[in-house]
Amino acid sequence: MSHNGKVQILDGAAVRKVIFERLKPRIEQLRGRLKRPPGLAVVLVGRNPASEIYVRGKIKACGELGIHSEKILPPESIHTHELVEIIDELNRRPEIDGILVQMPLPKQVDSRRVLEAVAAERDPDGFHPLNVGHLVAGRPGPRACTPAGIIEMLKHYEIVMAGRKAVVVGRSDIVGKPMALMLLQENATVTICHSRTANLAEECRRADILVAAIGRAAAITAEYIAPGAVVIDVGQNRIDDAGEAERLGRAEEFARKGYALVGDVHPLDVVQRATAYTPVPGGVGPLTIAMLMSNTVGLAEARQS
């Protein structure tokens, strides 16, 4: 791994465009066979502003591709059993191929019970225990969208994974764990680190491919990054302090919007050390939705085969 000063920016929007182009003929074929487009139902409970933005993005992507989408908007006060009933009904509807429950759910709702109520064959998030089991066993099925998108991006930019050392920082069920398994399937040698890891910086410096998914703004600084590493930043953290934004090189964005977005990797340090990295915003973000669309199409195809 040499670092010759030229840094490649891994552009999520460009990769999303390629994924969408590949999906279009598959969607057309499904329309012919099923006499309908693939269908995605999005369940959004209450009025979480961040969730509303995410859901808007998902519905917009459906529109671009010609996937049928429906929004179900139960009140904030809903109870677990009522939400499970809504999902049971969606499971039975023939024109719905994927059911997405937008997280987080209100405190009184048992999130696990709700997620497991979504039938495994209608789970475009790849969160159902059965689909997680398929991932572990290397069997086909929907894969968690963010890590699946990262694999697509690494392939798009022809970044070699086989035989490389990959370090994943974060062990969530949504990103960290499935990411490690997918890198393993690509024949990388994988280490998973987390908040209890001893000598975290030292572990991270061993990585040819470093994936940061810890949810702490700019926590991964220069000392964590080996010169020449490929750095994938999954974080999306909002900075509301002008001084902090300036320190992270985001003063201009802050002046424009009143806040700035940074990932889990220090945005100035990564440019100094990495050979390639994903910017925030615009790196991993667009791929999560692209893979959600891809999974929905895959579920529709599996149902009619």
**pLDDT digits over 71-85, tens only?**
999 999 999 999 999
Model confidence, pTM: 0.94
Q: Are residues 155 and 98 in the same domain?
A: no
Considering the candidates 97, 123, 125, 264, report the single residue annotated as catalytic: 125
Residue 88 structural domain: 34-121
Stretch (H or E) spanning 239? strand 237-239
Confidence of residue 260 (pLDDT cuts 50, 70, 90): very high
User: Could you tell me the pLDDT band of residue 21, with boundaries at 50, 70 and 90?
Assistant: very high
The confidence score (pLDDT) of residue 4 equals 55
Count: domains in the chain = 2
- How big is the CA angle at 230 (ends 176 and 214), to the nearest 5 degrees? 30
pLDDT band at residue 5 using 50, 70 and 90 as cut-offs: low
102 is catalytic: yes
Selecting among 97, 102, 208, 233, the annotated active-site residue is: 102
Q: Active site includes 58?
A: yes
Give the 3-state secondary structure of residue 39. Answer: strand
Is a pLDDT exceeding 50 seen at residue 163?
A: yes
Average pLDDT of the residues in 239-254: 96
Average pLDDT over residues 246-266: 96
93 and 154 in a common domain:
no
Q: Is the dihedral of CA 149, 152, 154, 160 positive or negative?
A: positive
Percentage of residues in the chain with pLDDT exceeding 90?
95
Q: Are residues 99 and 148 in the same domain?
A: no
In angstroms, the CA 185 to CA 273 distance is: 27
The rounded distance, in Å, linking the Cα atoms of 152 and 252 is: 32
pLDDT of 6 reads 83
**Based on the domain organization, do 51 and 156 belong to the same domain?**
no
Torsion of CA 139, 140, 144, 145, to 10 degrees: 150
* Residue 126 included in any domain: no
What's the CATH number where 177 sits? 3.40.50.720
Per-residue pLDDT for 27 more than 50?
A: yes
Give me the pLDDT at residue 1, please.
47
The active-site residue out of 58, 208, 264, 269 is: 58
